[in-house]
């Protein structure tokens, strides 16, 4: 399953080069993760606030293929990589649908922790939701 998140590039996301600053792609990946959780049937907010479970970013990487510009309408395509008891990874593609251009692709790896930053196992409820394929 791939989750599609649509966004329009914000002025504040550009830099003096006239293109989107590369750090913002990681913020967009995060939007993709939130939407993926929502599509899988739960809210990342509730998991964090109600279930003492956080997905702390352990690694992130991005390969920038083509620049993005102010007011570009982009899609973030997010899918789950590997789900383990104490870690999870996600893959992302940023595309400009109007031109079919691949803007970037990336990955984030997460450790499951409690709200005190201690590693814990992911509650079975979320693991089931994340690994259900539909």
32, 44, 88, 126: residue in contact with a second copy (rule CB under 8 A) = 44
Q: Does 34 bind a second copy (CB under 8 A)?
A: yes
| Residue placing its CB nearer to a second copy in the complex, 5 or 95 | 5
| Residue placing its CB nearer to a second copy in the complex, 30 or 93 | 30
Q: Does 130 bind a second copy (CB under 8 A)?
A: no
Please work out the total of residues on this chain that contact a second copy, with binding judged by CB under 8 A: 38
2, 4, 51, 57: residue in contact with a second copy (rule CB under 8 A) = 57
**CA 117 – CA 111 distance, rounded (Å):** 10
2, 4, 22, 130: residue in contact with a second copy (rule CB under 8 A) = 22
Q: Are 122 and 88 in contact (CB under 8 A)?
A: yes
For residue 50, indicate whether it is catalytic: no
88: left (phi > 0), else alpha (psi -120 to 50), else beta? beta
Binding interface with a second copy (CB under 8 A): 8, 10-12, 14-19, 21-24, 26-27, 30-31, 34, 43-45, 48, 54, 56-64, 67, 69-71, 117
């Amino acid at each position: 399953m791939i989750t599609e998140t649509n966004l329009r590039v914000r002025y504040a996301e550009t830099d003096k080069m006239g293109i989107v600053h590369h750090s913002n792609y990681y913020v967009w990946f995060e939007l993709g993760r939130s939407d993926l959780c929502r599509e899988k049937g739960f809210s990342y907010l509730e998991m964090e606030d109600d279930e003492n479970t956080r997905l702390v970013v352990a690694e992130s990487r991005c390969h920038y293929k083509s620049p993005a510009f102010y007011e570009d309408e982009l899609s973030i395509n997010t899918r789950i990589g590997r789900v383990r008891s104490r870690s999870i990874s996600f893959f992302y593609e940023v595309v400009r649908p109007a031109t079919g251009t691949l803007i970037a692709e990336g990955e984030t790896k997460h450790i499951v922790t409690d709200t005190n930053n201690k590693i814990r196992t992911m509650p079975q409820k979320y693991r089931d939701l994340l690994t259900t394929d539909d």
